[in-house]
Amino acid sequence: MIRSVLIGLLTVAIAATGYWGYTEHQEKNAILIKAENNYQRAFHQLTYHIDQLNDEIGSALAMNSKKSLSPSLAEVWRIASNARSDVGQLPLSLMPFNKTEEFLSKIGDFSYRVAVRDLDKEPLTKEEVDTLRQLHKKSGEIKKELRRVQSLALKNNLRWMDVELALASEDEPMDNTIVDGFKTVEKNIEDESEVKWGSTEEIQIRDKTNLNKYLSGKPISANKAKEIALKFIGSKKSPANVKVDETNKNSNYAVYNVTIDRSNDETIYMDISKKGGHPIWMLSSRDIKENKIGLNEATKRAEKFLKEKGFKNMTLADSNQFDQVGILTFVRFKDGIVYYPDSVTVKVALDDGSIVGYEGINYLTSHKKRTLPNKTISVEKAKKQVNPNVSIHEEQLALIENEGKEVLCYEFIGTIDDDTYRMYINATNGEEEKVEKLKDPEPLYS
């Protein structure tokens, strides 16, 4: 009797466990399929978009009238951006695919630039037509390879989850059709050097981390770097714990990284350039207590600090209070002109007003003797270039960096209704260089 009851109970228990295991398994599968489907969708859309991209560049090549060329190139820009977003959704971060992403981004930049240009005044140059032709060829190659991978994936039911596993547990040799296919694409793009990007190439943003290129002075030793760092933070006697690291020998960002442990739970980090021993930045990890001073007082402390460090002719460009610190950005100001590229940022603790951060890489890499272009346009004339809906409240001359070049502008700050805008009108040709909406405080949504 007892036996049969026990057997009965056990049977029920086993059945229940089995059922539980089965549902767990089902749920896991459902989630895996969901994840897989997301990847599949991104992958198939990517092939579709590259296909479209190739077609659209092709038709742009055949177009003659400017009326149809501009929209067509705008379309190229849109499709390239879609394709980029597809790539961003695939698990490709662990393998070389960044050149392809860059390629797509460059196609986008190139087609956008040409599309928004007035092609009646400035028709496509011969080089640009050549570029388009090359892009057509390249995108055709990518398309072919991706279509091949796609058909194999469909035929053999290849799963992206396997790709992910293969990439994550890279115990070479990796034998995965999809991975191989994408590697082929990337390789193809790497030989892309023959593509001339024309004007976009000049617009490359200045690589400010290339310190050896921009800084002057003789190489210094690690010991000297330590000395400079201690002097910079105004430490009289050398604290016990100072550690000096350095960046990789081949790196353009050539600095000594100095870590100073102070007794009271404060660690100060600093980068000192190997060339010339310039302090690049400083940051303190100190826990900052309750606010005791205001932002205005903090500004004064920061000004004093900059003066001590030998900065001249600096003016406050932006000030913001975040929690217990004031972030103050200063720019060079001389003879009535603001030099925005020459900026330094100082971080002031609002409990005791001490300087807990300094960032000078912008100033160090951009400050130089400049020959300013003549301003040929008067303020009044420049004002007329501003949108008439804007009521202008402030104006000054400013040097700004726009699309990789420094331009002398009239800077106007004005409002439309409750929104504040900053507008730059080129002081030599009167063009509207840049308009930006200035940020208002953000309401807390929760």
Q: Which of residues 421-440 bind another protein (CB under 8 A)?
A: 438-440
Binding of residue 443 to another protein (CB under 8 A): yes
Give the integer Cα–Cα distance in Å for 305 and 344: 12
Binding of residue 295 to another protein (CB under 8 A): yes
- Of 88-96, 126-134, 138-146, 334-342, the segment contacting another protein by CB under 8 A is 88-96
When binding is defined by CB under 8 A, the residue of 199, 235, 291, 396 that contacts another protein is 291
Residue with smaller CB distance to another protein, 210 or 385: 210
Q: Please report how close the Cβ of residue 364 comes to another protein at its closest, in angstroms.
A: 13
Binding track over 219-248 against another protein, x by CB under 8 A? --------------------------xxxx
Binding of residue 193 to another protein (CB under 8 A): no
Q: Could you tell me the two tokens for 30?
A: 């459902």
Please tell me whether residue 357 adopts helix, strand or coil conformation. strand
Binding track over 131-170 against another protein, x by CB under 8 A? ---------------------------------x--xxxx
**Sequence-ordered strand ranges (E) for 38-111:** none
**DSSP label at 102?**
H
Residue with smaller CB distance to another protein, 62 or 322: 322
Binding of residue 85 to another protein (CB under 8 A): yes
Q: Please report how close the Cβ of residue 174 comes to another protein at its closest, in angstroms.
A: 9
Binding of residue 332 to another protein (CB under 8 A): no
Binding of residue 106 to another protein (CB under 8 A): yes
Output the DSSP codes for 231-283: HHTT-SSPPSEEEEEE--TT-SS-EEEEEEEETTTEEEEEEEETBTT-EEEEE
- C-beta separation of 382 from 430 below 8 A: yes
Q: Which of residues 23-62 bind another protein (CB under 8 A)?
A: 39
**Selection from 112, 58, 50, 131 nearest residue 84 by Cα:** 50
Q: Which residues pair with 321 in a beta bridge?
A: 326
Q: Which of residues 343-402 bind another protein (CB under 8 A)?
A: 345, 347, 357, 359, 361-362, 391, 393
Please tell me whether residue 376 adopts helix, strand or coil conformation. coil
- C-beta separation of 362 from 335 below 8 A: no
Q: Where does residue 275 rank: exposed (0-12), middle (13-18), buried (19+ CB within 10 A)? A: middle
Q: Please report how close the Cβ of residue 342 comes to another protein at its closest, in angstroms.
A: 14
